[in-house]
Amino acid sequence: MTGDSTQLHLTSDDVDAWLAGVAAPELQRHVDQCSACFELVQAEQALAAQLGTLPLYTPKVDFANRVMASVYIPDPFAIRSLQAARRRLLGSRKAIALAASLALVLLGSMSASAAWTLANRDTLVAAGNWLAGQAAGWAWLGLRSAVLNLIEQPWFAGFRSLVETPGRLAIASAALSLMYLSGILALRRLLAVPPRPVAHANR
């Protein structure tokens, strides 16, 4: 029961329990003493009685089959067949006229493009040569910019002096090779399987 400090009233669960005949004795006493809750349970009881008098309708035996026969469930992974596409495309005269117009426009565009290409072959060749020249110029400009940027680096002077001196270059190459071999040997030692079990490993 819920309510303020002066008056408690039945909740919906209490009303359901009272209608089901499993209400606690204190609920029955409250209903006998509270006019508001008495009217509530009487109204709920009358409503339940009216609902109980309604006839039960059961569907016919073939109801499920008739419903499922009218339901179309498309397969999202299925490819539409050419016959279905043709029926949809040629279903009406308006659709046929629209399809013919689109085909005519497409065929006319392709024919006009082929005719213009044959009539202006020199223009196309000149445009292709111009584009090739521009691409080569842009590539050469990018290469020059990259080389100039590399030369302007502060470490380039030391690298250039190292390359120009064969003795320094040989020493640097030998040092790099030694460092590389040391790293390989260290990695191999780290990845090697121990030859025998370590003592007290299982303790």
Contacts of residue 2, Cβ cutoff 8 Å, sequence gap at least 6:
8, 9, 11
Each residue's pLDDT tens digit, 154-199: 877 777 777 777 777 788 788 888 898 888 888 888 777 666 555 5
> How many other C-beta atoms can be found within 10 angstroms of the C-beta atom of residue 2?
9
The pLDDT value given to residue 189: 80
The pLDDT value given to residue 193: 61
DSSP 8-class letter at 8: E
Banded model confidence at residue 151, pLDDT cuts 50, 70, 90 = confident
In this prediction, residues 27-31 reach a mean pLDDT of: 83
The pLDDT value given to residue 88: 64
- Helix or strand or coil: residue 54? coil
Banded model confidence at residue 1, pLDDT cuts 50, 70, 90 = low
Q: Which amino acid is at 121?
A: R
Each residue's pLDDT tens digit, 36-94: 888 888 888 888 888 888 887 787 888 888 888 888 776 555 555 555 666 666 667 77
Spatial CA neighbour of 23 closest among 5, 6, 4, 37: 37
Query: Are the C-beta atoms of residues 30 and 10 closer than 8 Å to each other?
Result: yes
The pLDDT value given to residue 4: 43
